[in-house]
């Protein structure tokens, strides 16, 4: 199998964490792909018509995209019942926190593109402010719920949580999330030390 991505993508990092935790590292080749808005990568478009990363080419030659779809596929392949429970309240909890963390990350990535790629005179400041408000409200909600949400065996929601905060550290160094949302610090530090996380960023 082959995973196409970028070392700076939090969604690729999440997939790599799941790959490591599932023991699939030796079965999946990681390949960086160059993508930029406004420039069509024709070769990559043949693999993924949306030209988005991550993209996983399965052993059957099927291209999977969207990080959750890829992670779900890998988790099921590995037969792991902990990373994503099959059903019941545990599955709902994991999916709920995963959706919140992924939503925050998506807003952060969108804002990064708006601020770094779009010429300054064409930037949509209202959209930037709106995204930052959503990010902060999402972090505040996590701060209130994190003790109950980030608990127990390691799962995909925690992979989304740690990659979200690592991305905010990487792209938003002026966002003082440690001071403003202190309940996130301890679980982040614990998760960040896990070998599956460390290997994902090598």
Q: What is the pLDDT of residue 32?
A: 93
Q: What ranges do the domains of the chain cover? A: 2-78, 88-194
Q: What is the pTM of this model?
A: 0.94
* Record: fold of 88-194: Glutathione S-transferase Yfyf (Class Pi); Chain A, domain 2 (1.20.1050)
Question: φ and ψ at 131, to 5 degrees?
Answer: -60, -45
Check if the beta carbon of residue 25 is closer than 8 Å to that of residue 38. no
Q: What is the pLDDT of residue 151?
A: 66
**Of the candidates 13, 110, 18, 84, the residue with the CA atom closest to the CA atom of residue 53:** 13
**Of the candidates 170, 168, 173, 164, the residue with the CA atom closest to the CA atom of residue 191:** 164
Q: Which string of b and e fits 53-66 if b means at least 16 CB within 10 Å? A: bbbbbeeeeeebbe
Chain centroid to Cα 160, Å, comes to: 5
Distance (Å, whole) CA 51 – CA 42: 9
Q: Which helix (H) or strand (E) holds 181?
A: none
* Record: fold of 2-78: Glutaredoxin (3.40.30)
Check if the beta carbon of residue 14 is closer than 8 Å to that of residue 67. yes
Mean pLDDT per 10-residue section of the chain, whose length is 202 residues: 95 98 97 81 88 95 97 97 93 94 97 90 94 97 78 90 98 96 94 97 94
Paired with 55 in beta bridges are 4, 65
Cis peptide before 54 (omega within 30 of 0): yes
Check if the beta carbon of residue 98 is closer than 8 Å to that of residue 132. no
Q: What is the pLDDT of residue 148?
A: 63
CA dihedral 139→140→141→144, nearest 10 degrees, is 120
């Amino acid at each position: 199998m082959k995973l196409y991505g970028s070392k700076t993508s939090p969604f690729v990092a999440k997939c790599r964490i799941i790959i490591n935790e599932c023991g699939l590292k030796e079965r999946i080749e990681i390949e960086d792909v160059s993508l930029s808005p406004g420039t069509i990568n024709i070769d990559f478009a043949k693999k993924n018509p949306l030209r988005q990363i991550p993209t996983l080419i399965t052993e059957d030659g099927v291209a999977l995209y969207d990080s959750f779809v890829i992670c779900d596929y890998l988790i099921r392949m590995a037969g792991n019942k902990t990373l994503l429970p099959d059903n019941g309240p545990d599955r709902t909890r994991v999916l709920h926190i995963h959706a919140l963390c992924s939503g925050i990350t998506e807003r952060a990535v969108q804002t990064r593109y708006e601020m770094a790629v779009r010429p300054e005179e064409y930037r949509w400041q209202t959209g930037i402010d709106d995204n930052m408000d959503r990010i902060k409200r999402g972090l505040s909600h996590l701060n209130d719920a994190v003790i109950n949400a980030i608990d127990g065996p390691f799962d995909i929601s925690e992979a989304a949580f740690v990659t979200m905060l690592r991305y905010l550290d990487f792209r938003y160094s002026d966002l003082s999330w440690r001071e403003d949302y202190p309940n996130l610090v301890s679980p982040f530090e614990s998760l960040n030390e896990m070998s599956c996380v460390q290997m994902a960023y090598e």
